[in-house]
Amino acid sequence: MARTVVIVDDHDPFRRFARAFLQAAGFQVIGEARDGATAIEAIDRLRPDVVLLDVLLPDLDGFEVARRILAGNRRPAIVLTSTRDAADYGRRIERSGATGFVPKADLAAVGLDRFLRDDGPVE
């Protein structure tokens, strides 16, 4: 069975690219959100296996969205993404509880599989 994904990014072109790439890689994209508040609601409702989460959103940053998601009962693998490098965020990625980080430019090369185990997210 395909892993389910919600894509959270405020840029339509990136969401379209990520959807096409993830579907081609065997993931089932079950939802999208353009901002943090909508993302939290969608993740509560859809309960995806994976959340591809942009760090820079118009309302809440991705670190806060990750914190709120993980504070509840749901435990999806959260993969943060940004046009910037991980080093630009220092320890904020680690402290966010996210499973990992992928620069947007590297999504196609890295994919999401390295952040998952057969039985769920890598801890």
Which amino acid, 27? F
In a domain, 112, yes or no: yes
Q: What is the pLDDT of residue 7?
A: 98
In a domain, 21, yes or no: yes
pLDDT tens readout for residues 36-76: 999 999 999 999 999 999 999 999 999 999 999 999 777 89
In a domain, 23, yes or no: yes
CA distance 36 to 54: 9
Q: What is the pLDDT of residue 110?
A: 66
pTM value surpassing 0.85: yes
Closest CA to 61 of 9, 115, 4: 9
Average pLDDT over all residues of the chain: 89
Number of domains present in the structure of the chain? 1
In a domain, 93, yes or no: no
Average of per-residue pLDDT across 14-35: 95
In a domain, 56, yes or no: no
Is the pLDDT confidence value at 101 over 90? yes
Q: Which domain holds residue 33?
A: 1-47+62-77+105-116
Answer yes or no: are the C-beta atoms of 4 and 49 closer than 8 Å.
yes
